[in-house]
Amino acid sequence: MSTTSTMHAVSIDLQDRSYTIAIGADLLGRAATFAGLPQASAALVVSNTTVAPLYAAALQAALAPHYKAVHLVVLPDGEEFKTWQTLNLIFDALLENGCDRKTVLFALGGGVVGDMTGFAAASYMRGVPFVQVPTTLLAQVDSSVGGKTGINHPLGKNMVGAFYQPQLVVCDLATLKTLPAREVSAGLAEIIKYGPIADMAFLDWIEANLGALRACEVTALAHAVRRSCEIKAHVVSQDEREGGLRAILNFGHTFGHAIEAGLGYGQWLHGDAVGCGMVMAAQLSHRLGLVDAGFVARLTRLIDAAGLPTVGPVLDAQDNAGRYLELMQVDKKAEGGAIRFVLIDGPGRACVRGAPEALVRQVIDACCAGA
Protein backbone atom coordinates (compact mmCIF):
# COMPACT_ATOMS: atom_id res chain seq x y z
CA MET A 1 0.00 0.00 0.00
CA SER A 2 1.27 3.45 -0.85
CA THR A 3 0.74 6.10 1.82
CA THR A 4 -0.17 9.75 1.80
CA SER A 5 0.23 12.44 4.41
CA THR A 6 -3.16 14.01 3.59
CA MET A 7 -5.52 14.07 6.55
CA HIS A 8 -9.27 14.56 6.24
CA ALA A 9 -11.49 15.50 9.14
CA VAL A 10 -15.19 14.69 9.30
CA SER A 11 -17.20 16.30 12.10
CA ILE A 12 -20.03 14.68 13.93
CA ASP A 13 -22.33 17.31 15.31
CA LEU A 14 -23.91 16.32 18.63
CA GLN A 15 -23.84 19.55 20.64
CA ASP A 16 -21.59 18.98 23.70
CA ARG A 17 -20.85 15.43 22.51
CA SER A 18 -19.52 16.53 19.09
CA TYR A 19 -16.21 15.13 17.87
CA THR A 20 -13.87 14.73 14.92
CA ILE A 21 -13.16 11.68 12.79
CA ALA A 22 -9.56 12.02 11.58
CA ILE A 23 -8.84 10.03 8.39
CA GLY A 24 -5.35 9.58 6.93
CA ALA A 25 -2.29 7.38 6.77
CA ASP A 26 0.20 6.99 9.62
CA LEU A 27 -1.84 8.88 12.22
CA LEU A 28 -1.71 6.59 15.24
CA GLY A 29 2.02 6.85 15.84
CA ARG A 30 2.02 10.67 16.05
CA ALA A 31 1.69 12.44 19.41
CA ALA A 32 0.04 15.41 17.66
CA THR A 33 -2.92 13.23 16.64
CA PHE A 34 -3.94 13.00 20.30
CA ALA A 35 -3.44 16.63 21.36
CA GLY A 36 -6.52 18.33 22.75
CA LEU A 37 -8.07 15.35 24.52
CA PRO A 38 -9.34 15.75 28.10
CA GLN A 39 -6.46 16.09 30.62
CA ALA A 40 -5.75 12.94 32.62
CA SER A 41 -2.83 11.31 34.35
CA ALA A 42 -3.43 7.84 32.88
CA ALA A 43 -4.54 6.18 29.67
CA LEU A 44 -5.53 2.56 29.07
CA VAL A 45 -5.08 1.11 25.59
CA VAL A 46 -7.48 -1.80 24.99
CA SER A 47 -6.52 -4.13 22.16
CA ASN A 48 -6.47 -7.82 21.31
CA THR A 49 -3.94 -10.59 20.72
CA THR A 50 -3.80 -9.91 16.95
CA VAL A 51 -3.70 -6.12 16.86
CA ALA A 52 -1.61 -5.34 19.96
CA PRO A 53 1.62 -6.90 18.60
CA LEU A 54 1.18 -4.86 15.39
CA TYR A 55 0.25 -1.39 16.64
CA ALA A 56 0.10 -1.06 20.45
CA ALA A 57 3.74 0.01 20.90
CA ALA A 58 3.38 2.80 18.33
CA LEU A 59 0.16 4.04 19.93
CA GLN A 60 1.60 3.86 23.44
CA ALA A 61 4.65 5.87 22.30
CA ALA A 62 2.40 8.52 20.73
CA LEU A 63 0.38 8.76 23.96
CA ALA A 64 3.39 8.87 26.29
CA PRO A 65 3.90 12.67 26.04
CA HIS A 66 0.26 13.21 27.08
CA TYR A 67 -0.04 10.91 30.14
CA LYS A 68 2.10 9.92 33.15
CA ALA A 69 1.14 6.28 32.62
CA VAL A 70 -0.09 4.46 29.51
CA HIS A 71 -1.38 0.99 30.43
CA LEU A 72 -2.29 -1.81 28.02
CA VAL A 73 -4.81 -4.63 28.29
CA VAL A 74 -4.86 -7.34 25.62
CA LEU A 75 -8.15 -9.20 25.10
CA PRO A 76 -8.70 -12.52 23.33
CA ASP A 77 -9.54 -12.03 19.63
CA GLY A 78 -12.92 -12.89 18.16
CA GLU A 79 -16.63 -12.14 18.05
CA GLU A 80 -17.19 -15.08 20.40
CA PHE A 81 -15.28 -13.09 23.07
CA LYS A 82 -17.60 -10.07 22.89
CA THR A 83 -18.97 -11.09 26.29
CA TRP A 84 -19.35 -10.03 29.93
CA GLN A 85 -16.33 -12.13 30.83
CA THR A 86 -14.05 -10.30 28.39
CA LEU A 87 -15.52 -6.93 29.30
CA ASN A 88 -14.57 -7.66 32.90
CA LEU A 89 -10.89 -7.94 31.86
CA ILE A 90 -11.03 -4.21 31.00
CA PHE A 91 -12.48 -3.37 34.43
CA ASP A 92 -9.82 -5.61 36.05
CA ALA A 93 -7.07 -3.65 34.25
CA LEU A 94 -8.59 -0.28 35.21
CA LEU A 95 -8.90 -1.20 38.89
CA GLU A 96 -5.58 -3.03 39.17
CA ASN A 97 -3.81 0.04 37.74
CA GLY A 98 -5.64 2.42 40.10
CA CYS A 99 -7.28 4.27 37.20
CA ASP A 100 -9.46 7.22 38.26
CA ARG A 101 -12.55 8.74 36.64
CA LYS A 102 -10.47 10.92 34.30
CA THR A 103 -8.57 8.00 32.76
CA VAL A 104 -8.91 7.93 28.97
CA LEU A 105 -9.56 4.59 27.26
CA PHE A 106 -8.22 3.97 23.73
CA ALA A 107 -9.87 1.23 21.66
CA LEU A 108 -7.21 -0.14 19.30
CA GLY A 109 -8.70 -2.80 17.02
CA GLY A 110 -11.79 -3.71 15.05
CA GLY A 111 -15.44 -3.38 15.95
CA VAL A 112 -15.31 -6.00 18.67
CA VAL A 113 -12.61 -4.16 20.64
CA GLY A 114 -14.29 -0.81 19.87
CA ASP A 115 -17.77 -1.86 21.02
CA MET A 116 -16.44 -3.41 24.24
CA THR A 117 -14.07 -0.55 25.07
CA GLY A 118 -16.86 1.96 24.53
CA PHE A 119 -19.16 0.03 26.84
CA ALA A 120 -16.41 -0.21 29.48
CA ALA A 121 -15.86 3.56 29.17
CA ALA A 122 -19.62 4.19 29.51
CA SER A 123 -19.79 2.23 32.75
CA TYR A 124 -16.42 2.52 34.55
CA MET A 125 -17.01 4.94 37.45
CA ARG A 126 -20.25 5.83 35.58
CA GLY A 127 -18.34 7.15 32.58
CA VAL A 128 -14.78 7.99 31.51
CA PRO A 129 -13.63 9.48 28.19
CA PHE A 130 -12.65 7.18 25.33
CA VAL A 131 -11.08 7.38 21.88
CA GLN A 132 -11.65 5.03 18.96
CA VAL A 133 -8.58 3.96 16.96
CA PRO A 134 -10.24 1.53 14.51
CA THR A 135 -7.92 -0.81 12.60
CA THR A 136 -10.39 -2.70 10.39
CA LEU A 137 -12.13 -1.25 7.35
CA LEU A 138 -15.47 -2.14 8.90
CA ALA A 139 -14.67 -0.28 12.10
CA GLN A 140 -13.36 2.77 10.21
CA VAL A 141 -16.51 3.12 8.08
CA ASP A 142 -19.08 2.20 10.68
CA SER A 143 -18.61 0.81 14.18
CA SER A 144 -16.18 3.40 15.58
CA VAL A 145 -18.54 6.25 14.69
CA GLY A 146 -21.85 7.06 16.36
CA GLY A 147 -21.50 5.80 19.92
CA LYS A 148 -23.18 2.41 19.83
CA THR A 149 -21.29 0.25 22.33
CA GLY A 150 -21.98 -3.14 23.84
CA ILE A 151 -21.61 -6.89 23.98
CA ASN A 152 -23.48 -9.93 22.67
CA HIS A 153 -25.83 -12.18 24.63
CA PRO A 154 -26.12 -15.86 23.62
CA LEU A 155 -29.76 -15.14 22.70
CA GLY A 156 -29.13 -12.00 20.67
CA LYS A 157 -26.46 -9.87 19.04
CA ASN A 158 -25.42 -6.55 20.69
CA MET A 159 -28.29 -6.92 23.15
CA VAL A 160 -26.52 -5.32 26.13
CA GLY A 161 -24.89 -1.92 25.76
CA ALA A 162 -25.10 1.85 25.86
CA PHE A 163 -25.06 4.89 23.59
CA TYR A 164 -21.79 6.58 24.52
CA GLN A 165 -19.83 8.86 22.19
CA PRO A 166 -16.04 8.84 21.86
CA GLN A 167 -13.98 12.05 22.18
CA LEU A 168 -12.17 11.40 18.89
CA VAL A 169 -11.99 8.76 16.15
CA VAL A 170 -8.63 8.16 14.45
CA CYS A 171 -8.89 6.17 11.20
CA ASP A 172 -5.29 5.34 10.31
CA LEU A 173 -5.50 3.93 6.78
CA ALA A 174 -1.98 2.49 7.04
CA THR A 175 -3.20 -0.08 9.58
CA LEU A 176 -5.35 -1.64 6.84
CA LYS A 177 -2.26 -2.95 5.06
CA THR A 178 -2.11 -5.89 7.50
CA LEU A 179 -5.82 -6.68 7.25
CA PRO A 180 -6.65 -10.08 5.71
CA ALA A 181 -8.54 -9.91 2.39
CA ARG A 182 -11.60 -11.53 3.97
CA GLU A 183 -11.80 -8.68 6.52
CA VAL A 184 -11.48 -6.10 3.71
CA SER A 185 -14.53 -7.70 2.09
CA ALA A 186 -16.37 -7.57 5.41
CA GLY A 187 -15.71 -3.82 5.55
CA LEU A 188 -16.96 -3.44 1.99
CA ALA A 189 -20.35 -4.76 3.11
CA GLU A 190 -20.87 -1.77 5.41
CA ILE A 191 -19.53 0.62 2.72
CA ILE A 192 -21.91 -0.78 0.08
CA LYS A 193 -24.79 -0.37 2.56
CA TYR A 194 -24.55 3.43 2.40
CA GLY A 195 -25.36 3.48 -1.34
CA PRO A 196 -28.87 1.99 -1.42
CA ILE A 197 -29.96 3.74 1.79
CA ALA A 198 -28.58 7.21 1.10
CA ASP A 199 -26.38 7.90 -1.91
CA MET A 200 -26.66 6.13 -5.27
CA ALA A 201 -23.77 8.20 -6.70
CA PHE A 202 -21.61 6.59 -4.00
CA LEU A 203 -22.86 3.17 -5.12
CA ASP A 204 -21.79 4.02 -8.69
CA TRP A 205 -18.37 5.05 -7.34
CA ILE A 206 -17.98 1.81 -5.35
CA GLU A 207 -18.81 -0.26 -8.45
CA ALA A 208 -16.23 1.66 -10.48
CA ASN A 209 -13.52 1.42 -7.79
CA LEU A 210 -14.13 -2.03 -6.36
CA GLY A 211 -10.80 -3.40 -7.62
CA ALA A 212 -8.86 -0.55 -6.03
CA LEU A 213 -10.76 -0.97 -2.77
CA ARG A 214 -10.13 -4.72 -2.63
CA ALA A 215 -6.44 -4.03 -3.35
CA CYS A 216 -6.41 -1.51 -0.45
CA GLU A 217 -5.24 1.40 -2.62
CA VAL A 218 -4.99 4.26 -0.20
CA THR A 219 -6.66 6.93 -2.35
CA ALA A 220 -9.70 4.74 -2.88
CA LEU A 221 -9.79 3.74 0.79
CA ALA A 222 -9.54 7.36 1.87
CA HIS A 223 -12.55 8.33 -0.25
CA ALA A 224 -14.60 5.31 0.87
CA VAL A 225 -13.88 5.88 4.56
CA ARG A 226 -14.52 9.61 4.29
CA ARG A 227 -17.84 9.33 2.37
CA SER A 228 -19.07 6.51 4.64
CA CYS A 229 -18.25 8.56 7.75
CA GLU A 230 -19.93 11.65 6.26
CA ILE A 231 -23.15 9.71 5.63
CA LYS A 232 -23.07 8.05 9.03
CA ALA A 233 -22.27 11.36 10.79
CA HIS A 234 -25.18 13.04 8.99
CA VAL A 235 -27.64 10.32 10.07
CA VAL A 236 -26.37 10.07 13.66
CA SER A 237 -26.38 13.86 14.06
CA GLN A 238 -30.12 13.83 13.34
CA ASP A 239 -31.01 10.76 15.42
CA GLU A 240 -28.30 9.84 17.92
CA ARG A 241 -30.32 7.29 19.91
CA GLU A 242 -32.21 5.65 17.04
CA GLY A 243 -35.64 7.06 17.66
CA GLY A 244 -36.31 6.61 13.94
CA LEU A 245 -33.99 7.59 11.06
CA ARG A 246 -30.82 5.93 12.42
CA ALA A 247 -32.41 2.49 11.94
CA ILE A 248 -31.70 2.78 8.19
CA LEU A 249 -28.03 2.14 9.01
CA ASN A 250 -29.17 -1.39 9.86
CA PHE A 251 -29.99 -2.28 6.24
CA GLY A 252 -29.19 -6.00 5.93
CA HIS A 253 -28.66 -6.37 9.68
CA THR A 254 -32.02 -7.93 10.64
CA PHE A 255 -31.32 -11.01 8.51
CA GLY A 256 -27.57 -10.67 9.19
CA HIS A 257 -27.85 -10.71 12.98
CA ALA A 258 -30.08 -13.82 12.71
CA ILE A 259 -27.33 -15.52 10.70
CA GLU A 260 -24.64 -14.58 13.24
CA ALA A 261 -26.66 -15.66 16.28
CA GLY A 262 -28.09 -18.75 14.54
CA LEU A 263 -24.72 -20.11 13.41
CA GLY A 264 -22.96 -19.11 16.65
CA TYR A 265 -20.92 -15.90 16.93
CA GLY A 266 -17.67 -15.98 14.97
CA GLN A 267 -18.80 -18.61 12.41
CA TRP A 268 -19.59 -15.98 9.78
CA LEU A 269 -17.94 -12.55 9.91
CA HIS A 270 -20.32 -9.72 10.77
CA GLY A 271 -19.64 -8.19 7.33
CA ASP A 272 -20.41 -11.50 5.58
CA ALA A 273 -23.73 -11.72 7.40
CA VAL A 274 -24.57 -8.09 6.53
CA GLY A 275 -23.66 -8.68 2.86
CA CYS A 276 -25.97 -11.67 2.60
CA GLY A 277 -28.58 -9.88 4.75
CA MET A 278 -28.66 -7.00 2.25
CA VAL A 279 -29.48 -9.44 -0.57
CA MET A 280 -32.35 -10.83 1.52
CA ALA A 281 -33.62 -7.36 2.47
CA ALA A 282 -33.41 -6.23 -1.18
CA GLN A 283 -35.37 -9.33 -2.24
CA LEU A 284 -38.01 -8.55 0.38
CA SER A 285 -38.18 -4.94 -0.84
CA HIS A 286 -38.76 -6.24 -4.37
CA ARG A 287 -41.46 -8.72 -3.33
CA LEU A 288 -43.24 -5.86 -1.57
CA GLY A 289 -43.16 -3.90 -4.83
CA LEU A 290 -40.76 -1.23 -3.53
CA VAL A 291 -37.86 -1.74 -5.99
CA ASP A 292 -37.53 -3.45 -9.35
CA ALA A 293 -35.73 -6.74 -10.03
CA GLY A 294 -32.91 -4.89 -11.81
CA PHE A 295 -31.99 -3.11 -8.57
CA VAL A 296 -31.85 -6.40 -6.63
CA ALA A 297 -29.71 -7.99 -9.36
CA ARG A 298 -27.31 -5.01 -9.39
CA LEU A 299 -26.85 -5.03 -5.61
CA THR A 300 -26.42 -8.82 -5.53
CA ARG A 301 -23.75 -8.63 -8.27
CA LEU A 302 -21.83 -5.98 -6.33
CA ILE A 303 -21.99 -7.90 -3.06
CA ASP A 304 -20.73 -11.01 -4.84
CA ALA A 305 -17.94 -9.06 -6.56
CA ALA A 306 -16.89 -7.67 -3.17
CA GLY A 307 -16.14 -11.26 -2.05
CA LEU A 308 -19.20 -11.56 0.18
CA PRO A 309 -21.74 -14.38 0.38
CA THR A 310 -25.08 -13.85 -1.36
CA VAL A 311 -26.67 -17.16 -0.33
CA GLY A 312 -27.78 -17.60 3.28
CA PRO A 313 -26.89 -20.55 5.50
CA VAL A 314 -29.48 -23.10 6.59
CA LEU A 315 -29.98 -22.56 10.32
CA ASP A 316 -32.48 -25.38 10.84
CA ALA A 317 -32.94 -28.36 8.53
CA GLN A 318 -36.58 -28.88 9.69
CA ASP A 319 -37.89 -25.31 9.59
CA ASN A 320 -35.23 -22.94 8.32
CA ALA A 321 -37.54 -19.96 7.74
CA GLY A 322 -39.11 -20.52 11.17
CA ARG A 323 -35.67 -20.40 12.81
CA TYR A 324 -34.78 -17.14 11.02
CA LEU A 325 -38.11 -15.64 12.10
CA GLU A 326 -37.56 -16.74 15.71
CA LEU A 327 -34.09 -15.16 15.78
CA MET A 328 -35.26 -11.96 14.08
CA GLN A 329 -37.90 -11.42 16.77
CA VAL A 330 -35.02 -10.70 19.20
CA ASP A 331 -33.83 -7.83 16.94
CA LYS A 332 -33.78 -4.43 18.68
CA LYS A 333 -36.06 -2.95 16.01
CA ALA A 334 -38.80 -5.51 16.78
CA GLU A 335 -41.85 -4.07 18.53
CA GLY A 336 -44.04 -6.36 20.63
CA GLY A 337 -42.57 -9.39 18.84
CA ALA A 338 -43.36 -7.93 15.38
CA ILE A 339 -40.24 -7.89 13.19
CA ARG A 340 -39.42 -4.60 11.43
CA PHE A 341 -37.11 -4.56 8.42
CA VAL A 342 -34.99 -1.86 6.82
CA LEU A 343 -36.16 -1.93 3.21
CA ILE A 344 -35.24 0.01 0.10
CA ASP A 345 -38.23 1.94 -1.22
CA GLY A 346 -36.48 3.59 -4.13
CA PRO A 347 -32.83 3.87 -5.13
CA GLY A 348 -30.97 5.75 -2.39
CA ARG A 349 -33.94 5.71 0.00
CA ALA A 350 -34.77 3.41 2.91
CA CYS A 351 -37.76 2.84 5.16
CA VAL A 352 -38.42 0.71 8.24
CA ARG A 353 -41.56 -1.43 8.26
CA GLY A 354 -43.05 -4.86 8.84
CA ALA A 355 -43.80 -7.45 6.16
CA PRO A 356 -46.26 -10.36 5.91
CA GLU A 357 -44.73 -13.51 7.41
CA ALA A 358 -45.54 -15.57 4.31
CA LEU A 359 -43.51 -13.16 2.16
CA VAL A 360 -40.55 -13.22 4.56
CA ARG A 361 -40.65 -17.03 4.49
CA GLN A 362 -40.59 -16.96 0.66
CA VAL A 363 -37.52 -14.70 0.71
CA ILE A 364 -35.67 -16.92 3.19
CA ASP A 365 -36.52 -20.04 1.17
CA ALA A 366 -35.33 -18.36 -2.04
CA CYS A 367 -32.11 -17.00 -0.50
CA CYS A 368 -30.82 -19.96 1.53
CA ALA A 369 -28.69 -22.78 0.15
CA GLY A 370 -30.63 -26.01 -0.20
CA ALA A 371 -33.53 -24.77 1.96
Q: Which residues are catalytic?
A: 126, 148, 190, 232, 242, 246, 250, 253, 257, 270
Whole-number Å distance between alpha carbons of 371 and 368? 6
Name residues contacting ligand NAD, limited to 221-280 (CB under 6 A): 270-271
Window 24-63: residues binding ligand NAD (CB under 6 A): 48, 50-51, 54
Sheet with strand 104-109: strands edge to edge = 7-12, 19-24, 168-172, 130-134, 104-109, 42-48, 69-75
In the complex, which residue's CB is closest to ligand NAD?
Answer: 111
Q: Which stretch binds ligand NAD (CB under 6 A): 37-45, 140-148, 294-302, 347-355?
A: 140-148
Residue 171 touches which of ligand GLY, ligand NAD, none (Cβ within 5-8 Å per kind): none
Is 298 a residue that touches ligand NAD (CB under 6 A)? Answer: no
Is 59 or 328 the residue whose CB approaches ligand GLY more closely?
328
Task: Tell me which of 174, 186, 218, 302 binds ligand NAD, using CB under 6 A.
Answer: 186
Quick check: 331 binds ligand NAD (CB under 6 A)? no
Distance CA 35, CA 170 (A): 12
Quote helix, strand, coil % in the chain, to nearest 5: 50, 20, 30
CB of 72 to ligand NAD, least distance (A): 15
CB 333 within 8 A of CB 340: yes
User: Using CB under 6 A as the criterion, which residues of the chain lie in contact with ligand GLY when the complex forms?
Assistant: 142, 146, 148, 246, 249-250
Q: Counting contacts by CB under 6 A, is residue 175 touching ligand NAD?
A: yes
How many CA atoms are closer than 13 Å to the CA of 187, on its beta-carbon side? 29
| Residue 250 contact among ligand NAD, ligand GLY, none, beta carbon within 5 to 8 Å by kind | ligand GLY
List CB contacts of 93: < 8 A, sequence separation 6 or more.
Answer: 44, 46, 71, 73, 99
Nearest to 331 by CA among 259, 271, 280, 258: 258
